[in-house]
């Protein structure tokens, strides 16, 4: 299966963002990609106020656009993430990644579990002020592609290996990471984390990132969208700090061979991990 990761620089204008993304998705499909992944907040980016103004339900304009494009091109399309209208009583949005099938059907919606509440070089980000955390992992077989089972994640999730192990144990062979990964941490951590998740869980990892200066309220983004194989080899990477496409062929037989020769999933010892769900001493919310 050929797969592609799209790199964008989103702004506050949804129509302009979707038009730019459509051109890149078409470029990827023309190159033979059957699975295409867009970045986090590809449809609208900015302050919490901008996200709230641009929030929509899953039958809203962005997912409808993605469904039509997937059906037109006959591809599986991961609509990176969109700000989804509140689903709970506290009024917070969801940061939601959607998988559209080749007939335009909405196959899955993953809501970001790990929220970006950090302080970087004196600048604080509190995603949880605007976004409610998701609670469910998301794993979806890709019909028509033997051995391809998609696990979905978003950006900051990549720092939490527990989620990726759950995805692998539930059958994922390909994991998508739409992201707006910061330029402050990206040079040291982005490639390292993507390759670590690929190697430890023996999956293909597709990291699709925003790049450059986004609107106020969003960090400068690292880009470097890339595709990593289960051996940790970077199959494709966009080093140019501009919007574009990276693509690679995912060898499912090769993945099965890696898992048979180096059976780390089978060699797990769950009894030794019994404290994994308990906070470590000194770690508080």
DSSP structure class, residue 60: S
Question: CA 189, 186, 66, 132: dihedral to nearest 10 degrees?
Answer: 70
Total-model pTM: 0.95
Beta-strand relationship, 94-100 and 106-111: antiparallel
DSSP 7-37: EB---S-HHHHHHHHHHHHHHHHHTT-SEEE
Give the count of alpha carbons within 13 A of 111, CB side only. Answer: 18
Annotated active-site residue 155? The verdict is yes
Structure tokens at 279: 């906070």
Q: What is the pLDDT of residue 284?
A: 47
Annotated active-site residue 56? The verdict is no
Annotated active-site residue 170? The verdict is no
Residues of the chain with pLDDT below 70 are 278-285
Reduce the DSSP state of residue 271 to 3 states and report it.
helix
Q: What is the pLDDT of residue 279?
A: 65
What are 175-228's pLDDT values in tens digits?
999 999 999 999 999 999 999 999 999 999 999 999 999 999 899 999 999 999
Q: What is the pLDDT of residue 280?
A: 56
Q: Under CATH, which architecture does the 2-267 domain have?
A: 4-Layer Sandwich (3.60)
Residue among 40, 56, 84, 127 flagged as catalytic: 40
Residue among 112, 127, 138, 237 flagged as catalytic: 112
Q: Which residue ranges make up each domain of the chain?
A: 2-267
Q: What is the pLDDT of residue 189?
A: 98
Q: What is the pLDDT of residue 103?
A: 98
Residue among 98, 155, 221, 237 flagged as catalytic: 155
Q: What is the pLDDT of residue 285?
A: 47
Q: What is the pLDDT of residue 84?
A: 98
């Amino acid at each position: 299966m050929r797969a592609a990761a799209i790199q964008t620089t989103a702004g506050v204008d949804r129509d302009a963002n979707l038009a730019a993304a459509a051109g890149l998705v078409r470029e990827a499909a023309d190159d033979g990609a059957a699975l295409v992944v867009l970045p986090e907040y590809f449809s609208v980016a900015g302050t919490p106020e901008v996200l709230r103004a641009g929030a929509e339900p899953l039958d809203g304009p962005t997912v409808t656009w993605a469904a039509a494009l997937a059906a037109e091109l006959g591809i599986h399309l991961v609509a990176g993430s969109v700000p989804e209208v509140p689903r709970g009583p506290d009024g917070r949005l969801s940061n939601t990644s959607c998988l559209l099938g080749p007939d335009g059907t909405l196959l899955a919606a993953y809501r970001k579990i790990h929220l970006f509440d950090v302080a970087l070089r004196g600048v604080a980000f509190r995603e949880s002020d605007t976004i409610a955390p998701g609670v469910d992992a998301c794993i979806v077989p890709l019909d028509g592609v033997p051995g391809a089972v998609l696990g979905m994640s978003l950006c900051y999730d990549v720092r939490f290996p527990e989620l990726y192990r759950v995805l692998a144990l539930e059958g994922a062979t390909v994991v998508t990471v739409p992201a707006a990964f910061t330029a402050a941490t990206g040079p040291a951590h982005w490639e390292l984390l993507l390759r670590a998740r690929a190697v430890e869980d023996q999956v293909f990892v597709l990291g699709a990132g925003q790049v450059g200066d986004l609107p106020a309220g969003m960090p400068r983004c690292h880009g470097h969208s890339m595709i990593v194989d289960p051996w940790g080899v970077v199959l494709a990477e966009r080093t140019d700090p501009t919007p574009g496409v990276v693509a690679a062929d995912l060898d499912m037989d090769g993945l099965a061979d890696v898992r048979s020769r180096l059976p780390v999933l089978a060699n797990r010892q769950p009894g030794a991990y019994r404290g994994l769900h308990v906070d470590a001493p000194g770690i508080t919310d």
